[in-house]
Amino acid sequence: MRWPSDKNLKKINWALYGVIVCSGVYLIIAPFLPQITFKISNIVDMPSKTINTQKIDRNTNQLYIPSVKLTKPILDGDSPKTVNRGIWRVPTGSSPARESNTVLVGHRFSYKNPSVFYHLDKVEHGDTIYVSWNKKIYVYKVDQIRTVTPDTTSVEDPSDEPKLTIYTCTPLWSTSHRLVIQSKLDKVL
């Protein structure tokens, strides 16, 4: 076996060095990319607190939060691992049609899973949230925003009134607490 020359070894070393530097830069910048793109998109196109309901796709179960420009499908599944694919509707909770507590969960940030709720902390009291569910549109108004510990499972309890509970980990890049957004049903279209 013939060893590469010193010149070729230097090229290989520089290439490996470049790969290591690029990987390091990616690992440092990746968590901030959603924040940067969100700020740029807000400069170009200011977010609205509402949406034209004619533009909502009634054929797929989706969550729409116009104030943070979120439009994502709602996934059903019995396994908590479903959350690794996007927004998971907790099966022990309700659904919008059953008029109790519909619970939606998603990751805030993950290198390998969709970070669907990265901007959930920007949702404000009074914001409108839309859920397209089984060809109907459910319009909710945010009435409570709070932070709880992971063992506070009461946020998933059934309710006498129809409501929507959305939660994710907080603070960003931590699993120490949960950011909980609760909304009351305003109307069904």
121-178 pLDDT tens trace:
999 999 999 999 999 999 999 999 999 999 999 999 999 999 999 999 999 888 999 9
> Between residues 130 and 41, which one has the greater pLDDT?
130
For residues 21 and 104, state if they share a domain: no
For residues 82 and 68, state if they share a domain: yes
86-126 pLDDT tens trace:
999 999 999 999 989 999 999 998 877 778 999 999 999 99
Please, which pLDDT band fits residue 46 given cuts at 50, 70 and 90?
low
In the chain, the number of structural domains is 2
For residues 154 and 180, state if they share a domain: yes
For residues 6 and 99, state if they share a domain: no
pTM here is: 0.82
Q: Which domain holds residue 3?
A: 1-46
Q: What span, in angstroms and rounded, lies between the C-alpha atoms of 15 and 1?
A: 22
Q: Is 98 left (phi over 0), alpha (psi -120 to 50) or beta?
A: alpha
User: What pLDDT is recorded for position 47?
Assistant: 65
For residues 117 and 144, state if they share a domain: yes
User: What pLDDT is recorded for position 5?
Assistant: 74
For residues 108 and 146, state if they share a domain: yes
For residues 111 and 156, state if they share a domain: yes
For residues 5 and 41, state if they share a domain: yes
The three-point CA angle 133-134-136 to 5° equals: 65
DSSP letters spanning 152-185: -GGGGS--SS-EEEEEEEESTT--SEEEEEEEEE
CATH number at residue 170: 2.40.260.10
Contact 138, 131 (CB under 8 A): yes
For residues 154 and 169, state if they share a domain: yes
For residues 120 and 81, state if they share a domain: yes
User: What pLDDT is recorded for position 1?
Assistant: 63
For residues 40 and 55, state if they share a domain: no
For residues 73 and 156, state if they share a domain: yes
